[in-house]
Amino acid sequence: MTRLWSWGALLIGVAFFLMPLYGMTEFSLKMRRGEYSFDAYVTVLGDPRFQATFGYSVLMAVLTILCGVLLVVPTAFWVRLKLPGLRPWVEFITLLPLVIPSIVVVFGYIRLYNTSSWLPLTGSVTGTNMLLMFGYTVLALPYMYRAVDTGLRTIDVATLTEAAQSLGAGWVTILARVILPNVLGAVLSGAFLTFAIVIGEFTMAALLDRPAFGPYMQLLGANRAYEPAALAVIAFAITWACMGLIQLVTRFSKHNRVAR
């Protein structure tokens, strides 16, 4: 009885997951009538707009990761070291992006930072790009903060800091050469997850009118038949690669850590 429903649930679930994966792969290969071919992939990868938007989103993802690390690592470190009473509040705020839909946040940006406001970020291309990067940093905040905070929990922050201070290190040195290397695994996990989120993000990029990969995919989906399936396969592979890297990083960073 138990065996029956266990296998039943698994088989139904696995079948449901495999169905669209099979569907998109099969569909993406059928562009040429009557035989399998990689035509859809060739068309997509050769499209200059694909290259431009994909490059733009990769750049955005890297900048978002940098911005997130610079923001989250010092804050999480400082809160653990000096202001433990503030931790529930910071944690609560970092979880807010999961509560407030991103479409609402970007709606606020558009109204708050328009050309006639005190900080007219949407008035220039650089300003809008920066605004999008900040928006992505907000989206990544829950994952980034949780990853780094978990990483900090496994090391003795206070002792490490004191040791570094008695050797004459300043705050920047402590953060960059003592704390960061110790939580590098956690930071990289957060970074890859951020990458997976940012690369295909649609809502913010579309509403801020930036030439990112998400809006490009949507546009292609509205106009073409086979290329979107190829894009879906590519996007799935990217997500899979990011998650694989996270597992790899977690496995490696476990070895050089002393058991508590």
Partner 1 sequence: MALPRARINLPLTWLGVVPFFVFVGLFLLLPTLYIVVGAFRTPEGGFTFGNILALNTPTILSAYWVSIKIAFWSSLIGCAVGFAMAAAVTVGAGPGWVKNPLLTFSGVASNFAGVPLAFAFIATIGPAGIITLYLRHEFGINLRLMGFNLLSTLGLVITYLFFQIPLMILIITPALEGLKREWKEAASILGATSFQYWRMVAFPILFPSILGTMALLFANAFGAVATAIALTGPSLNIAPILLYAQIRGDVLGSPNLGYALAFGMIVITGLANALYIVLRARSERWLK
CA distance 161 to 182: 12
Interface pick for partner 1 out of 51, 115, 247, 256 (rule CB under 8 A): 247
207 touches partner 1 (CB under 8 A): yes
Q: Count residues binding partner 1 (CB under 8 A).
A: 80
- Give the interface segment with partner 1, choosing from 9-17, 52-60, 147-155, 179-187 (CB under 8 A): 9-17
- Give the interface segment with partner 1, choosing from 3-11, 31-39, 51-59, 147-155 (CB under 8 A): 3-11
66 touches partner 1 (CB under 8 A): no
CA distance 242 to 233: 14
Interface pick for partner 1 out of 201, 210, 249, 253 (rule CB under 8 A): 201
CA distance 173 to 164: 9
> What is the rounded (10 degree) CA torsion for 65, 66, 70, 75?
0
108 touches partner 1 (CB under 8 A): yes
22 touches partner 1 (CB under 8 A): yes
124 touches partner 1 (CB under 8 A): no
15 touches partner 1 (CB under 8 A): no
Residue with tokens 């990761």: 65
2 touches partner 1 (CB under 8 A): yes
Cα angle vertex 221, ends 219, 224, to 5°?
A: 105
Cα angle vertex 71, ends 68, 72, to 5°?
A: 80
Query: How many CB atoms neighbour CB 245 within 10 A?
Result: 17
Site for partner 1 in 126-185 (CB under 8 A): 134-135, 137-138, 141
Considering the complex, state which of residue 155 and residue 196 has its C-beta at the smaller distance from partner 1.
196
The dihedral built from the CA positions of residue 44, 51, 144 and 163, taken in this order, carries a sign that is positive
Considering the complex, state which of residue 63 and residue 90 has its C-beta at the smaller distance from partner 1.
90
Interface pick for partner 1 out of 236, 245, 248, 250 (rule CB under 8 A): 236
111 touches partner 1 (CB under 8 A): yes
- Residue 115: both structure tokens together: 């050309």
